[in-house]
Structure 1
Amino acid sequence: MSIPPTESWTLLQGGLVFLVCAAIIAIAGTRITRVVDQLADRTGIGEAAAGAVLLGASTSVGGSVLSVTAAWNGNAELAVSNALGGIAVQTFFLAVADMVYRRANLEHAAASVPNMMQNGLLICLLALILFAPYLPDVTVGGVHPVTPVLFAVYFYGIYLVRTASESPMWLPSATGETREDKPDDVTAMPPMSRLCVEFLVLMAVLGIAGWVLEPAATVIANRTNLTQTVVGVLLTAVSTSIPELVTSVAAVRRGALTLAVGGIIGGNAFDTLFTAASDIAYRDGSIYHAMPEDSKFWAALTLLMSGVLMMGLIRRERHGIGKIGMESAVIMVLYVFGVVLMLGGVQAPPAYN
């Protein structure tokens, strides 16, 4: 399968391809929520673990393929901004899902130790990405040493999440608004083989859509004179993150609150691996040292948003402003603030020796 050279694409063609791919991602992402919820019950791994591993990874396929493809084509700025912008907008989507659940704040109702662990893992991974540009610009086989560390920390973190789920050392207090993860009747579900096949097919659809989305995004950036960071944060990151918005809202409506929160946080942790995978695909050295200041700004902002979310998960406020949590309101303000600064062309201060 090949795509015609993007140099011959018009802005209209690039925009149409972009919209079609975004629509495919939204539809497939909606469908995969139900499949993952049923797989969680069928396998007995629980909604939090399923959200972290199955839902988080599957809905992130489109974005990961886009970042790796962009890095392979030498577009380091688009690759990194898509990854970091995706984490920021998905955290924003969690606040949107909080608005959908009206009974109580989502972070209160979906309290779980695994979700806390996942968010702690996300903060560690983001800190590593921010730390990498300040290390020596050396590579081994074209790969920076931080890349294997990111993979190792992620997989060890997932192990800790599973351990915390099976044998928690402490539990959140149960209240009248707490929604426990109770498996549905598995006898009324499709067989395991059918669920697995459907899951893999939907993952493939999301991956192909993300692959086609990258050249469309490049055309939009070139034809509109927008920076790749703006395109990555506002266009590709949002479009490839549509599954997280759709799946989190769908999970809330299904009553799978732990799955909704776990899917977003788990997807965010998985999305940090976009940067690691992009470093492997990037052939011009370390992708961390090719990160523009705008991308570092989004990494720092996302780290701040994740810290606010962690405080909200610990505090567990029942009702806040407009019947959403205070942390959700702060996260939304931070994201909008970041977008305004980026569109306003605010530049990072010059570095002094």
Structure 2
Amino acid sequence: MFASLIPSIIAFSLASLVIVIAGSRLARWADMLADQTGLGEALFGILLLAGITSLPDFAATLSAAIDDRPDLAMSNIMGSMAANLMFLGVADIVYRKANLEHAAASPVNLILAGLLIVLLTLPLLAIFTPTVSQWRIHPVTPVIVAAYLFGLHLIHRTKAKPMWFPRPTRQTVADDPGHHPDKPSARLWSGFIAMAVVTGIAGWVLMEAAKGIADHAGLSETLVGGLFTALATSTPELVTTIAAIRIGALTLAVSNIFGTNCFNMLVVAAADIGYSHGSIYHDMAPVQMTWGLVGILMTAILLLGLVRRQTYGIGRIGFESALILGVYAIALSVVVLGT
């Protein structure tokens, strides 16, 4: 899309600015709609906001798979999920009142973390299975879709009839519906949809610009996908999460990250469907398994933090945030040095 380096840098900068502005408004309106619809921040973040912020990842991964570039496709989506989890560590640094996982404790977030570990395991198991495919689709792909849908069912049941409740503290910010009588639902929906479209388009331009920058630098597809496009297409998640924290919608911030990563597993399934040479799991480079394992490790660490609910840690951030930031930095170093 961009023939030289300078236009790529300009496009990257402009798209980043658009995402910051649109993403901030998107988070604010999502919080209002979560209250007006009665879904709550957790369910709204999972069902709607997560899918919208995943649009750049979906476009980048599916287009790479259709172009028969499995390394670029899988490194983008796997690297993006690791980046999203790292953003929760960044969000914990931004939220200074307490550990974010302490303040945003909810049974829905626990279910989401467990579901994400299950979903991340499936494509890794597919790598070690025979190269069997039906209609060019690996049998694990429909299992991923079924597991995601069953997970949504569990989340809905957990939200409706929770069997576990976090112990309330002074730092806990509950997901209680607010009231916004001055904002009609029609206006909120139109604004939300408009910002969603703007964010999706800007995210796609950001991804194309990042690819242009990387291509002119002569970098490998694995590095481009796992670092440049993964971070670029994850920018909407970072912006909406930070914006949600600033308006006090902590449950929305955490569920947006976990929900986005769970939705991204549908993007993995779509990549296998779009890939024309059989199973995409067997044609990607082994380093993609590293990103998947890192994603499982980071999710498990965050799950420990959600259960432990440390109020304060070193530097007023939780131990889990410090650990996932360190794990991501090490994993990124390994990938960069190994490509």
Q: Distance in 1 between matches of 2:117 and 2:293?
A: 10
Q: Distance in 2 between matches of 1:214 and 1:246?
A: 16
Report 1:292-303 matches (<5 A).
292-303=285-296
Which residue of the partner structure matches residue 351 of structure 1?
Answer: none
Structure 2 counterpart of 1:269, which letter?
Answer: C
Structure 2 counterpart of 1:148, which letter?
Answer: P
Q: Distance in 2 between matches of 1:260 and 1:254?
A: 10
Identify the match of residue 329 of structure 2 among 324, 327, 336: 336
| Superposition deviation, residue 214 in structure 1 | 4.7
Structure 1 counterpart of 2:86, which letter?
Answer: F
| Superposition deviation, residue 322 in structure 1 | 0.7
Q: Note the aligned Cα RMSD (angstroms).
A: 1.7
Which residue of the partner structure matches residue 44 of structure 2?
Answer: 50
1:311 is the counterpart of 2:301 = no
Q: Distance in 1 between matches of 2:246 and 2:213?
A: 35
Structure 1 counterpart of 2:55, which letter?
Answer: V
> Does the 8 Å contact 1:125/1:154 carry over to 2?
yes
Q: Which ranges in structure 1 are unaligned for 5 or more consecutive residues?
A: 347-353
Among the aligned pairs, what percent are the same residue? 45
Partner SS for 1:187: coil
1:89 is the counterpart of 2:89 = no
Q: Distance in 1 between matches of 2:63 and 2:10?
A: 20
> Aligned pairs, how many?
339
Change (3 A) 1:201 1:305: same
**1:133-182 per-position Cα deviation (integer Å, ceiling 9, x unaligned):** 11221222222221111111111101111110110011111112111112
Structure 1 counterpart of 2:134, which letter?
Answer: V
Structure 1 counterpart of 2:59, which letter?
Answer: V
Partner SS for 1:243: helix
Q: Distance in 2 between matches of 1:284 and 1:20?
A: 36
| Superposition deviation, residue 213 in structure 1 | 4.4
Deviates more, 1:119-128 or 1:206-215: 206-215
1:73 is the counterpart of 2:67 = yes
Q: Distance in 1 between matches of 2:21 and 2:71?
A: 28
Identify the match of residue 26 of structure 2 among 19, 23, 32: 32
Which residue of the partner structure matches residue 134 of structure 2?
Answer: 140
> Does the 8 Å contact 2:137/2:279 carry over to 1?
yes
Which residue of the partner structure matches residue 237 of structure 1?
Answer: 230
> Does the 8 Å contact 2:207/2:232 carry over to 1?
no
Which residue of the partner structure matches residue 157 of structure 2?
Answer: 163
Q: With the length of structure 2 as denominator, give the TM-score of the two structures.
A: 0.95
> Does the 8 Å contact 2:203/2:235 carry over to 1?
no
**1:110-132 per-position Cα deviation (integer Å, ceiling 9, x unaligned):** 10000000111110000002111
Change (3 A) 1:184 1:201: same
Identify the match of residue 14 of structure 2 among 11, 20, 29: 20
Which residue of the partner structure matches residue 320 of structure 1?
Answer: 313
1:250 is the counterpart of 2:234 = no
Q: Distance in 2 between matches of 1:15 and 1:249?
A: 24
Q: Distance in 2 between matches of 1:65 and 1:257?
A: 28
Which residue of the partner structure matches residue 177 of structure 2?
Answer: 183
Report 1:81-230 matches (<5 A).
81-188=75-182, 190-230=183-223
Q: With the length of structure 1 as denominator, give the TM-score of the two structures.
A: 0.91
Identify the match of residue 54 of structure 2 among 56, 60, 71: 60
| Superposition deviation, residue 316 in structure 1 | 0.6
Q: Distance in 2 between matches of 1:228 and 1:19?
A: 22
